[in-house]
Structure 1
Amino acid sequence: MMKSSAMGSGLLLLAAIVVAGFHAAAAARHWDTNTNTVRVHSGGGDGGLPWECCDFVIRDPDFRPGLWQCQDVVDKCSPNCRECAASPAGNGYVCLDWIVSLLEPPVCTPRPWDCCDLAVCTRAYIPICHCADMFASCPTNCKQCELVQADPPRYRCLDSFFGYPGPKCTAPWISVSSN
């Protein structure tokens, strides 16, 4: 009986340390933990995202589920942006707000593909990606399409995209084996 009580106290202490670490990490990122910790897109006005879309988004690798910040330079920050700063280049403004989301925020410039299972990307801070998937026909937003297999005809989009490759075409829990 004594051992289970000590183990329960140990687990409770561990949980308290994890929660305290989470709050300290959030505060270090200038995150307002009192209001709107998780912003929900409401179509504008108070409580909406600090940006509608973002081409140069960064993700904090240490935060789960996902902590995102937009590095796009704009003429004027959105009214939903809480921390707007002059761009280091001096030609506009950057919103320094972070948002929590399971998914990457939407991009402003459309990707050359709608989805991609086999993305090939550089390891740069903001990667340059190519999609090596073969399709029955190229996506409508692809500018450079190549026939890679004649029977049955399969095509590959040769366009590159400056940013993350986007969603996968096949859900990760669905097997694509031919068994």
Structure 2
Amino acid sequence: MKTMKRCIIPSILLMLSLEAVLLVAAGRPSTATGADDVGTILLPSQGKGEAGVVAAAKKKGEEEERPWKCCDFALCTRSFPPLCRCMDKVEQCAATCEKCEPATSDSSRRVCNDWYHGFPGPMCTEAVATAKKEKAEEEERPWKCCDLALCTRSFPPMCRCLDKVEQCAANCKSCDPAASDSSRRVCNDWYHGFPGAKCTADGN
């Protein structure tokens, strides 16, 4: 009798252990299910990369939508963003131009008469861009030309023009009498940029 009890007790314990193992296995989610429940984590570097791709795609889309590839002479409204037309006379309009018509002054050349809602984009010739930049600087500079410039060594420099003139340029704010000759004037404005062209060939 004692021997039978000793055999039954281990069997019962073994069955209980097996049931416990089965219950744990049934309650545990599978590896595949766990993987499906976990969301994708976007690292900061991945986010920046995707933002860069979106910005590049947007820029490319604007270039493809614009009725011209580049434009030197743009006519734009003052709104923001502006409405623009390109007045360039070209041999052939871009594929995106819908109204490609002969130029009024030269029928052998074409002009795209489309209006574009946005900025006109890059210029076609660097020479025209440089000329426009120089003209803008001349209009902003406190003197039209300068023979004796005093500039710092920074880049771009801070400059003053020490020329003694009869009358200062319209852009000059501090036009004072010259110390050595009160009948002449000196512009004491400082300009952030290069002094520009000289007034005389030899600078005298």
TM-score by length of 1: 0.41
Q: Which has the higher helix share?
A: 2
RCO greater where, 1 or 2, for CA within 8 Å and sep 6 or more? 1
Structure number, greater radius of gyration: 2
TM-score between the two structures when normalised by the length of structure 2: 0.37
Q: Indicate the structure with greater strand content.
A: 1
